[in-house]
Amino acid sequence: MTIVDEIKQFVENECKKPTSKYGYEPFTFHFIPMVTYAEKLANELGGDKEVILLAAWLHDIGSIIYGRENHQITGAKIAEEKLKEFNYAPKKINLIKKCILNHRGSIENKRNSIEEQIIAEADVLSNFDNIGGIFKAAFIYENKTQGEAKKSVKEKLERKWKQLHFEKSKKMVKPKYEAAMLLLK
Ligand SMILES: [Fe+2]
């Protein structure tokens, strides 16, 4: 197994555990689309592809194991420990940690490398493949009515669209964004 397969399996196993803070669903509906976008962006924009794939699989591991709060910090620590078990190159581990630490929307200004930018961008892009998950959050976690949920999902996708940095990314999800705007009008 490659290191990427090993790490993918580690993340999937953590999602399967009854202790997973959000159950198994994030693996199917967030991790898989997120990694797919990260790989597409790596092909288009460059960067160290192995680092990008590892960071993509690991970027939300802190959230699965300990919950959403500060999950960039807990996630970077878990990633470091896990990758050290495979004797992974310290320089690459450092870059993966930076990708995880800086993937959240609120810390945009700190991203210096293409790898960090791709991880944050893929995370934003994955929203356009998971409208069900955004609705679930509105209904289940935020207790919204149908009208409120529809409005908040539309606004979230509008916000995510504006967060996209690369023209290539916009091109990838434009039909989905436009379809969503039409359906949520
Ligand atoms: Fe994420």
In whole angstroms, give the CA distance from residue 104 to residue 88: 25
CA of 60 to the centre of ligand 1 (A): 5
CA of 103 to the centre of ligand 1 (A): 8
Torsion of CA 74, 75, 78, 79, to 10 degrees: -150
Is the pLDDT reported for residue 109 higher than 70?
Answer: no
User: What is the structure's pLDDT at 111?
Assistant: 85
Tell me the average pLDDT across 149-154: 98
Q: Compare 104 and 3 and report the one with higher pLDDT.
A: 3
CA of 100 to the centre of ligand 1 (A): 10
Structure confidence at residue 112 as a pLDDT band (50, 70, 90):
confident
Nearest CA-CA partner of 131 in 158, 105, 157, 104: 157
Ranking 105-109, 134-138, 169-173 by mean pLDDT, the lowest is 105-109
User: What is the structure's pLDDT at 108?
Assistant: 63
